[in-house]
Amino acid sequence: METFKGTKELKETKELKQLKVSDILPIRNEILELQSGKCAICGDIISEKTGISADHQHKSSIETIGEDGAGLIRGVLCRGCNTLEGKIWNNMNRFKQPKNVNDRIKWLEELLKYYKSENYPYIHPNEKPKEPKVSKRNYNKLAKLYKDSGKKKKFPEYPKSGKLTVGLKTLFEEFQIEPFN
C-alpha cells in the first residue's frame, strides 16, 4: 500500500494529486494524524467507532476540479460534523443559490455575526412558557378540606387538561393551598 507522507507539504505547494479509492484510507489516516486525532470542526477525538470521514468539497457541474476547492479534501471530520456540514452546504445551494464558494463563506460569516448580535427583548409567541399543571396531590388535599368544611356545592373535578380553572383557583385561594408544586 502506498504511503502518503508529505501530505502537509503537498497542501502547502497546492499541487493536485488525483486519488484512487484505495488511496483514501491512508490519506485519511495521515490527515487525521496531522489533526492530532481530532475532528477538524468540533475538536473531539475520533475513531473508527465514532466514524471518520475524509471530508471533501463536492464539485458542481459548472466548476472545474480545484476551482475554489471543488473536489478537494478539506480535512477529516467525525460522522456528526460531516453530516451536518453536508446538510448546511447542500441546503445553502438549494435555498440560497450562492454563486460560488466565496459567496457561501461570506453568507456563513454574516450568519455568525447575526448569531452574535444582540437579541430584541420580545419573546416569540411559539416560545410562550407552558402553564403549570395543577398538582394532583394538592387537588386531593383541597377536595378533602372542602368535604370536611361541610359545603354543599359540588366540588369541581380535576381538569383533564391539568390547567387551573377559575372555580378551582377560587377554592385554592379560599383554603390557602398552592395549586402547583
pTM of the predicted model over 0.75: no
Q: How many residues does the chain have?
A: 181
CATH of 7-102, one of 3.90.180.10, 3.40.1800.10, 3.10.180.10, 3.40.50.1100: 3.40.1800.10
Phi-psi region of 51 (alpha: psi -120 to 50; beta: other; left: phi over 0): left
Name the β-bridge partners of 45.
Answer: 38
Query: What's residue 8's pLDDT?
Result: 66
Query: What's residue 57's pLDDT?
Result: 87
Query: What's residue 1's pLDDT?
Result: 43
List b or e across 49-83, with b for residues whose CB sees 16 or more CB atoms inside 10 angstroms: eeebbbbbbebeeebeeeebebbebebbbbebbbe
CA–CA–CA angle 104, 110, 112 (5° rounding): 105
What confidence tier does 100 reach under pLDDT thresholds 50, 70, 90?
A: confident
Mean pLDDT of the region 120-144: 91
DSSP state, residue 48: T
Mean pLDDT of the region 105-114: 91
Mean pLDDT of the region 81-92: 90
Question: pLDDT tens-digit profile of 37-67?
Answer: 999 999 999 998 889 999 998 887 777 888 8
The secondary element (H helix, E strand) that includes residue 74 is: strand 73-78
Mean pLDDT of the region 145-151: 90
Domain ranges of the chain: 7-102, 136-174
DSSP state, residue 6: T
Residue 11 has pLDDT above 70, yes or no: no
Mean pLDDT of the region 133-139: 95
Residue 13 has pLDDT above 80, yes or no: no
Which one of 8-17, 79-88, 123-132 scores highest in mean pLDDT?
Answer: 79-88
Residue 22 has pLDDT above 80, yes or no: yes
Query: What's residue 112's pLDDT?
Result: 94
